[in-house]
Chains A and B, each alone.
Chain A
Amino acid sequence: MNLRRDHVAGGAFVLAGVVVGILSFDLPFGTLASPGAGMLPMLLIGYLTVFGAVLFVRANESPPLASIDWSDFRHALPVVAVAAVAVTAYTRLGFLITIPLMLFFLTFVVERRPLLPAAAFSIGVSAISYTLFGLLLKIPLPRGILGF
């Protein structure tokens, strides 16, 4: 049997159903006249598992797993990594440090733009947004440990 796209997708949803089901065991199911906190989740988990199984069973009609094009992963991974670091830093270092650095990393390191335009872009955009949001609209942007 060669592995097809929906084998993986269907299997993943069945597995997800089982995992969430285990997480929901302590929720009271209630009765039909007075449903508890666990009734809707349990029903949904049931449906999810069934539909996942349907997908799995009918997987032979789907294209082979190997046909999925993952070439954009080399773009997605660094973008997500940079964004994740930025989110971690956002409330700790504050807007004025995090955002220019994130923009600079994405443009200069990830996208390999020339140094000067990348730096000018990062600093310029951050300064404009800070002026617009923080100063003109008085929106509380996160301040970092350094106090700004």
Chain B
Amino acid sequence: MEIFDNLLLGFSVAFRPDVLIYAFLGCLVGTLVGMLPGIGPLAGISILLPVTFGLDATKAIVMLAGIYYGSQYGGSTTSILMRIPGEAASVMTCIDGYAMARKGRAGAALAIAAVGSFVAGTFGVIMLTLVAPPLANFALRFGPPEYTALLVLGLVFLAYMSTTSLARTLIMACVGLLLGCIGIDVMSGHFRYAFDIKELGDGIGLVPVAVGLFGLGEILSTPSKTVVGKVVPPRFAELMPSRQEWRQSVMPVARGSVLGFVVGIVPGSAHIIASFLSYAVEKRVSKTPEEFGKGAVAGVAGPESANNAASTGAFVPMLALGLPTGPVTAVLMAALLIHGVPPGPQLVTEHPQVFWGFIASMYVGNLMLLALNLPLVGLFVRVLQIPYAYLYPLIIMFCIVGVYLVNNSIVDVWIMLIMGLVGYALRKFHFDPAPLVLGLVIAPTFELSLRQSLVMSSGNWTIFFTRPIAGVLFAICGVLLALSALSWLRQKDWRERLAETETGKK
């Protein structure tokens, strides 16, 4: 078995003490930067890139990749504890993770996130080991029409994103999609809604909006006098999920891993979309969809697994084809290039040590992260014991510093602050910001790929149905819409039950 020989070679590299140390450093730093609001994997890697110059290629890539998937683990921590997305892909974790924390299950949520991430990450690496080259060609077939179809699917799932009535959900989605239109239109060069601010050229970033709407909005509507009582330091057993919580998270983790990996291969900022899709899927298949938003275990387990699997999936086109499919893989590729190891079809044959060492180190890294994160759960939960009057100024500081750092842009910080106020107001009028964030993610890519497809087909809309992958995705969209229409006709669905409690005199 050639693959085992290769893996053996990989592990012989990955278990060298010096490589192990750098893998550990990467995971540790990744967890830390992932926890800070705003600073996601991209900023973390580019900040530490210079540090790796003195290292050889293997150590450098092992450390940088550790930062990448480590930050995916760390991102969930602040989401669960303070409703602040540590990085863009953990937006969905904010919703049910924070709700669990408010019910006193912060430890359980953190543990499930860590274990889910571990399972998904390991699944991703196994897939990467076994089937990377054929999958890479699949990634290439994913052109603009396919991307359009995927995002339409995302929009269809949008109806499942929120706990509020359909009209409210759609209003929020429209606002999000409109916010996503801000910036220079790639196709025609028009600067939409510029207000003479060049920083808006690439549109509004997801991070400032999410941090503002969720995190800052939460702080603004929580006066310190309402935060009563100290959380009693829980015992370790209470920190861990109960047997039932474990059971509830098995299937979501499995589904999230597969979905995340597949979506992750697709070029683009896929790990965000993966976590959104996973959340929607979990809610769709759940027997108790009304639990979502109020601390559903599946709402944490699914998206957290999906974004970790996706971050591994993103390595497929990079390693197998030498294609940077997203901002993070672009930095990793640049790092490899600078070290004289060009990623691409020849990587495996020309630098087997680097390639297999890197793959093996991901197995090791995921284990390390689990070992790092589970014991820390107890420590993280104690953060909530800091008196609120000191805790929230601290959070605001991290938000300002973190959001500024992403692009060294004060405009981003202003957007965060404004979005904090918007989030506060939305809460007063009973709107849920999650569909807004999804709209913001989808709008620019959706519009671009739709119009790109029409360029390719000279304005012929049948391109969306004649290409196989796009056709299948659109068929799924159609079936989903038909199913919801049916259940809506037949009986009151969960949404109406919700609408009743919402409008009724609670």
Chains A and B come from one and the same complex: yes
List the A side residues contacting B368 at CB < 8 Å: none
Q: Tell me whether B171 and A111 are in contact (CB under 8 A).
A: no
Number of B residues near A (Cβ < 8 Å) is: 60
Which residues in A have their C-beta under 8 angstroms from that of B430? Answer: 5, 9
Interface residues on A, range: 35 or more
In B456-482, the 8 Å CB interface with A consists of 458-461
Q: With A9-B431, A48-B174, A79-B219 known to touch, is A102 a contact of B168 (CB < 8 Å)? A: no
Q: A70 to B428, Cβ gap below 8 A?
A: yes
Contact between chains at A80 and B417 (CB < 8 Å): yes
Bound form: Cα–Cα A80–B220 in Å: 8
Q: Do the beta carbons of A80 and B421 come within 8 Å of each other?
A: yes
Q: Roughly how many angstroms separate A85 CA and B455 CA in the complex, as a whole number?
A: 47
Instruction: Compute how far the CA of A71 lies from the CA of B414 in the bound complex, rounded to whole angstroms.
Output: 25
Instruction: Assess whether B171 is in contact with A48, with CB atoms less than 8 Å apart.
Output: yes
The residues of B that contact A47 with a CB separation of less than 8 Å are 170, 174
A76 close to B390 (CB less than 8 A): no
Given contacts A23-B193, A51-B167, A70-B428, contact A40 B421 (CB under 8 A): no
B interface majority secondary structure: helix
Interface segment, one of B175-183, B245-253, B323-331: B175-183
Bound Cα distance from A27 to B193, whole angstroms: 10
Q: How far is the CA of A68 from the CA of B460 in the complex (A)?
A: 50
- B222 within 8 Å of A (CB atoms): yes
Q: Report the bound CA distance from A70 to B443 in whole Å.
A: 33
Q: For the complex, is B198 an interface residue (Cβ under 8 Å from A)?
A: no
Q: Are A138 and B400 in contact (CB under 8 A)?
A: no
22 pairs, A vs B, C-beta closer than 8 Å: A8-B429, A9-B429, A13-B171, A20-B178, A33-B460, A34-B451, A34-B459, A35-B454, A37-B190, A40-B443, A48-B178, A51-B167, A62-B503, A80-B421, A83-B396, A87-B410, A87-B417, A90-B404, A102-B393, A125-B397, A133-B401, A140-B408
16 further A-B contacts with Cβ under 8 Å, apart from A9-B431, A79-B392, are A16-B175, A24-B193, A32-B459, A34-B454, A41-B181, A44-B177, A47-B170, A51-B167, A61-B503, A75-B223, A76-B220, A76-B221, A76-B424, A80-B220, A133-B401, A137-B47
Chain B residues within 8 Å of A, Cβ to Cβ: 47-48, 50, 167-168, 170-171, 174-175, 177-178, 181, 185, 187-188, 190, 192-193, 219-224, 226, 389-390, 392-394, 396-397, 400-401, 404-405, 408, 410, 413-414, 417, 420-421, 424, 428-431, 443, 447, 450-451, 454-455, 458-461, 503, 505
